[in-house]
Amino acid sequence: QVLLVESGGGLVQAGGSLRLSCTASGLRFDAYDMGWFRQAPGKEREGVSCISYSDGRIYYADSVKGRFTISRDNAKNTLYLQMNSLEPEDTAMYYCAKAWNWDLTLNPNKYNYWGQGTQVTVSS
Instruction: Specify whether the CB–CB gap between 78 and 23 falls below 8 A.
Output: yes
d(CA 72, CA 30): 9
d(CA 95, CA 77): 16
d(CA 53, CA 50): 10
pLDDT tens digits, the chain, 124 residues: what are they?
A: 999 999 999 999 999 999 999 999 999 999 999 999 999 999 999 999 999 998 889 999 999 999 999 999 999 999 999 999 999 999 999 999 999 977 899 999 999 999 999 999 999 9
Q: Which of 88, 92, 84, 119 is nearest to 8 (CA)?
A: 119
